[in-house]
Structure formats: structure tokens, C-alpha cells
Structure 1
Amino acid sequence: MRSPLLADAPAIREPQHAPVAHVMRGGMIEGVHYGSVVVLGGGGAVRLSIGDTEAACYPRSALKPVQAVAMVRAGLPLNGALLSLAMGSHSGEEHHLTGTRLILELAGLTEDDLRNVPDLPYAPAVRDAWVRDGRGPSRLAQNCSGKHAAMLYLCKLSGWPLDTYLDADHPLQRMIAEVVGELTGQHVANATVDGCGSPLFAVSLHGLARAAARIATAAPDTAEHRVANALRVHPEMASGTGRDTAALMRAVPGLLAKDGFEGVQVAALPDGRAVAVKIADGADRARIPVTAAALARAGVEPRLLAGFAGEPVTGGGRTVGGIRPVAALDPPGAPAHR
């Protein structure tokens, strides 16, 4: 039954994305990244919308904090670093593997019980070392293994079937789908399978930002607060050493942030200001510069975001340009683009 408290599902359509960043070389626009951006104020009102923020999209791993809230509400007893790992897209570093093994041990399970897709570690340096050691793809090294271990742990505690925990009609996944609707404030538009094998729900970019804001502003005695606190205090467990989303959370006090494949990023502040970004072609190089610009547009001090302008454009071994977010993302009072 469709809840009357939720807005209609976002429309499934070709998104009407708009330019969100320019690739500058020698003072001229060499390329354009299209996408969509939404900026919410502390009260939830839309301060800025670029592109098509109401169309259905797949948040990919940016939805993991919402999945974690659902699991904590249902009785997942993890906290701190292990809870952050449960919403992670980790790099495959040793502390990620150790943490995932620990969650499985708490459940009385092993790596063989995981149903995510075997893969090599996500971080290039970690992956290269892994291959040099003669190791192949594994479920433990795959970047979503912490989430899958947490899902299995909750299933074990709840008496739910283990072999089918990824099925859409499994009690775990039905419960997660309900919480996705509640926190985004809208019915899910579509459901499919994410890269790791778990169900993936289509919501709007606006709904994704709204969910992040609700988690970031939750009262201390809630599952949302536990999830937000774990991610803020242990950002590297949800990502990895040197990863941009962890660095962004370290740079901006109180920020909650999560990235996802195909150019998705969400971030929210304790007062409810939030941003969500989708880069249309999935290219990663514009994701963080556009997110940083959106956060500045939301009122974050630009000096805190100075290190997130993206990789420079080089020519002949020297910097000749970079990624420049579009003028609509400039904070009020900023000098106009030349």
C-alpha cells in the first residue's frame, strides 16, 4: 500500500541536466560537465536547483547512510568505526578487511557467507599491491563488503534467512526500502541491483539531499544520530586513506558526506543545510569541485573548501587550467566569472 504521507515517486525520464562545471585550458572552455545540483537551506527549502533535481536517479553508494539507518533501527548493534564501515565504499586497506572480518565474527559467519561480487581492492595503490602479492578478486576486498557483513549480522540476530539476504522480497530489503521512502520523503521510483549485488532504489536528487539533512540533524537518541556520528568521527572507514569525501568531512566541521559511483555526491550539515550532486556522464573529476562549490553556495566558509578545487589541467608539465564550477554556484557576493 502506498503511504499517503509520502510524495509521489519522481518521474522516470531522461534527466534535463545542465552545465555544472567548465574544463578550462589556457583561459578558454575546453569541455563542459553536465549534471544536476540541489542546495537546501536549514529549513529544507530549496536555495538552488540546477538541471533536473526532481527526476528519478540512482544514488548508488550515496544511499548507504540511509541503509545504515534502517539497519540500526532494526537492531544492528554496531557503533563507531564498524558502523561507518557498514556504510562504506572502502578502499580495501587492511583496517577495512579487519573490520569486515570482525563484523562477520560477531555474527558467527565467515567471508564465504558474503554474497557481494568478488573484486580487487578499490584504491589503485592497494589494488596494485594486492595483485603483486598474487591475490585475486575476493568478496572481502570488494568495496561494499562492510555493508554486506552488517546486513548478514542483522539477519543472523533477527532470525532472517542468510542465503537470500539480497533478494528484493527479503525482510531486510523490504525494511530498507521503507526507510528510503521515509527519509527521502517520496515513494521509490524504481528498484534494480547495484554493482555489489544489493537492491538499489531510484529517488530524486532532491529526495537524496532531504534524507541526508534528516540524518545530519537527528536527535541524539535516534538511529540517524548514531549513523551520522559514526560517519563524521570515522570517515576513512567509509572510504579510505586520502579519499576526497573523507578529506571533505575532515575539513568542514560537522559535515556528513557520502559519494557514489556515476558521479553522485551528497553532503549535509548539522543545521540541515544539504547539497546533492549528480554528474551526468558519471565522470568523477567534476564531482568534488561541484560539491565544494555547492557547499559554499549553502554558506560554508570558502576557506574550508580551498583544497577541493579538483585536479589541475596540465600542458607541457605545467598547470594551464582546471575545473571551474558554473557561475550559478558562486556564493552570494563572489566576483563574477571572467
Structure 2
Amino acid sequence: MSQSSTLSRRAPKAPPEVREPAHVPVAHVRRGGIVEGVHHGSVVVLAADGSVAFQAGDIEAACYPRSALKPVQAVGLLRAGLPPLDDEALALVAASHSGTERHLATARRILDAAGLTEDALRNAPDLPYGSAERDEWLRRGLGPTRLAQNCSGKHAAMLFTARARGWPLDTYLDPGHPLQGELAATVEDLTGQGIARVTVDGCGAPLFAVSLHGLTRAAARLATAAPDTPEGRVAHAMRTHPELVSGPGRDVARLVHAVPGLLAKDGFEGVQIAALPDGRAVGVKIADGGDRARMPVTAAALARCGVDPEVLAPFAATPVIGGGAPVGELRAAGALAPHPAES
């Protein structure tokens, strides 16, 4: 890392408090006019100047961003010396990919550039994340592999960076490895806060606990960054290739196509970030970790950012089915609800 990049970083504030988050109702499941289910969570909406324009729940408690942190980690890899990659490959570095052949070929291409094979990966083997891709994988009689696991692009880039810097490859996932130290420093810089805890993500990589507010602040910094910066390069790659960041038909890819200039990334356990080019940004955490409320709540938060509700309409509600026909819906509730009757 260059001295100039180190000097440009902001000194992180204290880490967020580790506590049970004070989540609030953010989504209702209505069937036949009755609230059948309630999803609790927390939401933050940032104005273009970085101030909090809206919040619900507990946006300052420590939480694990899961894969919503991948764009920040991709920036950290560039800062740490990841050799040049084209936009497609860089998008995959920030991806939770579905496991299409395009995804796998791009991950192989990163490994090839590093002079490595799939055997060097240390992420947990898994089946493809996308349901169609998983079904086809199983139909072909294939089992879990490291390349098919949805984080393989990030891991391939970690190895490429470690090789370029002359760091050990076998231990690149150790929290004490110099690569992970560089990534932790980037997380603290972009979120503007210290890391509360370090644990292990599902793929085996270190996972850093920050607040939902800090995570959303990091998303806004990527979205507003100059094109020639690591942040700007990651943002451009993700906006240009949303299907590589997720997969064909995935809701995040569809949202990026629908909202011009949007930067968006989801994560397991009901986490979502989305940021507009002028710095308006939203962060969502669904308390129970369920995925079904994530996008309707995100759509309601983006509407508070000024995004056209008509554009967001396909994402704002999920039908509840009874006897094969819609009998209700899941949509944002409480202060996020579009109509008082739905609060």
C-alpha cells in the first residue's frame, strides 16, 4: 500500500456497541386483510450530505453486514495491490454470484491471471447459489465445489492480491494475515468507525462487525467516488455488470437496472445496501434474517430517497397466495409504509 493512500484515510471513530439491537416492525404480511406476520428490523436513509434523513429501529448497534460488505472488501483489495482486472472480473470480486457458467469462467480467469488453480481456494465448497443453476448442477451429478460457491470471485481476488504482494497463500483467510489487516483498515476507513468484532463468514473469510449506519455510509462513499479511485472503480464495475454481482433474474440485478446509477448489494441474514450517485443511500437489516422482507423494505426506503415509486413498484410488495391466487401481500410497515392504513 502506498503511503499516500494510508495518509488519505480517516481515523476511525470508536466501534459500535455490541448489544441486542432494538429493532422495530418494518414489514407486514397481510392475508385477507389481517396482519398474519410481522418482520422486525432497522432501516437508515442518508441524505446526499451524509446526514440521517430517516431511521427506524437501531442503526448504531454492531451487526454483521455479511455479503453486503463485499464492495468494501473489493475496494480494500485494490488498495492492497490487487493487479488490474477488467470490469467484469472486478464485479465478480464484489459478488454473491449464482454460479452460472459466466460466473465460474470469470472466477477461473482471475485465478489464471494469478497463476493459480481452484485448488488454491480456501472458501467452503458449496453448490451454486442460484436455484436454476443448482438444479442443473445436481442434474449433471455434480457436488459442492469451491469455485461454485458464491464467494469464489472474492477469494480468487484475495489470492491474486496475496501473490502480487508476496504474502503467504495458504493462510490468506487468517485474521492475522497482512491481507486481512489491509481489508480491516479499509472497512474502518469507509465506514468511519472501528470494527466491533471479527468472526468467520459462511465462506470462511473474516467478517467484520460494524453498524448499519456505518455500512450505509460506506456505500455512499463508493457511490459518489471519483472514477479513477478504487471506490469509483468498484462502483462502476458493479453498476455495469449487475448480473455478475448477483445473477440473472435476481432482485438486486433487476433493481440496479430499474434505478439509473444505483449501487446495490445484498447479504445473508436480511441485509441490503443501496446508494445513488449523489450520495443518497439506504441500509436495511431484517432482524429474523429472512430474505422475503428485504426488498420490499429496501424499496420503501429508496422511495424516501426520492426514487420514483412507480419505478419501485415491482419491488415494493410480494403477493401472499391462497389457493393459487393472491389474497394479500408483504410490504413495508410502520413509518415506512406508503399508506397509513398499512402501518
TM superposition score category, shorter chain reference: over 0.9
Match for residue 199 of structure 1?
206
Residue 200 of structure 1 aligns to which amino acid in structure 2? L
Shift of 1:337: 2.4
- Cα distance, 1:336 vs structure 2: 2.9
Partner of 2:340: 336
Deviation at residue 335 of structure 1 after TM alignment: 4.5
- Matched-pair contact (CA < 8 Å) for 1:191–1:200: yes
Question: 2: distance between equivalents of 1:221 and 1:242?
Answer: 30
Deviation, structure 1 residue 4: 8.6
Q: Which TM-score applies when normalising by structure 2?
A: 0.95
Q: 1:94 aligns with which of 77, 101, 105?
A: 101
Give the secondary structure class of the aligned counterpart of 1:312: strand
1:8: Cα distance to partner?
A: 1.1
Distance 2:317 2:295 in 1: 7
Supply the distance in 1 between the matched residues of 2:10 and 2:246 (Cα, whole angstroms).
37
Match for residue 58 of structure 1 among 33, 57, 64: 64
Distance in 2, matches of 1:229 and 1:201, equals 24
**Partner in structure 2 of residue 73 of structure 1:** 79
Distance 2:339 2:24 in 1: 22
For residue 50 of structure 2, what is the amino acid of its counterpart?
G
- CA shift, 1:44, in A, is 0.5
Amino acid at match of 2:29: V
Cα distance in 2 for partners of 1:82, 1:324 equals: 35
> In the alignment, which of 253, 266, 274 is matched to residue 260 of structure 2?
253
* Other-structure match for 2:220: 213
1:107 aligns with 2:111: no
CA distance in 2, matches of 1:96, 1:167: 26
Letter of the structure 2 residue corresponding to residue 204 of structure 1: S
Residues 113-128 of structure 1 mapped to structure 2, 5 A cutoff: 113-128=120-135
User: Cα offset for 1:9?
Assistant: 0.6
1:327–1:337 contact (8 Å) kept in structure 2: no
2:98 aligned partner, one-letter code = S
Q: Map 1:283-294 onto structure 2 (within 5 A).
A: 283-294=290-301
* Alignment partner of 2:91 out of 84, 88, 98: 84
**What letter matches 2:316 in structure 1?**
A
Residue 25 of structure 1: aligned partner: 31
TM-fit CA distance, 1:132: 1.1
Q: Which amino acid aligns with 1:11?
A: E
Question: 1:130 — aligned with what?
Answer: 137
Task: Say whether the 8 Å CA contact 1:313–1:321 is kept in structure 2.
Answer: yes
3-state SS of 2:30 partner: strand
Query: Any conservation in 1 of the 2:12–2:193 contact (CA below 8 Å)?
Result: yes
**Residues 303-314 of structure 1 mapped to structure 2, 5 A cutoff:** 303-314=310-321
Alignment counterpart, residue 9 of structure 1, candidates 8, 15, 39: 15
Instruction: Work out the number of aligned pairs and report it.
Output: 333
CA distance in 2: counterparts of 1:335 and 1:151, whole angstroms: 46
Tell me whether 1:175 sits opposite 2:216 in the alignment: no
Q: 2 CA distance for matches of 1:220 and 1:257?
A: 17
Gaps of 5+ in 2: 1-8
* 1:41-52 equivalences in 2 (<5 Å): 41-52=47-58
C-alpha distance in structure 2 between counterparts of 1:245 and 1:57, whole Å: 21
Q: Find the counterpart in structure 2 of residue 153 from structure 1.
A: 160
Secondary structure (helix, strand or coil) at the match of 2:326 reads: strand
AA paired with 2:54?
L
Q: CA deviation at 1:259?
A: 0.3
**Aligned with 1:67: secondary structure?**
helix
| Contact in 1 for aligned 2:227/2:236 (Cα 8 Å) | no
SS of the residue aligned with 1:307?
helix
Aligned residues: percent identity?
66
- Paired amino acid for 1:196: C
1:79–1:226 CA contact under 8 A, matched in 2: no
Find the aligned partners of 1:196 and 1:228 in 2 and give their Cα distance: 23
Aligned-partner SS, 1:38: strand
Residue correspondence of structure 1 range 219-230 to structure 2 within 5 A: 219-230=226-237
Instruction: Give the aligned CA root-mean-square deviation in angstroms.
Output: 1.2
Distance (whole Å) between structure 1 residues aligned to residue 66 and residue 185 of structure 2? 17
Q: Supply the distance in 1 between the matched residues of 2:223 and 2:142 (Cα, whole angstroms).
A: 39
- Give the deviation of 1:85 after TM superposition: 0.2
Q: What are the Cα deviations for residues 190-245 of structure 1, in whole angstroms up to 9, with x where unaligned?
A: 00000000000000000000000001001122110000000000011011011011
Q: TM-score, normalised by structure 1?
A: 0.96
Q: Any stretches of 5+ residues in structure 1 without a counterpart?
A: none
Letter in 1 for 2:254: A
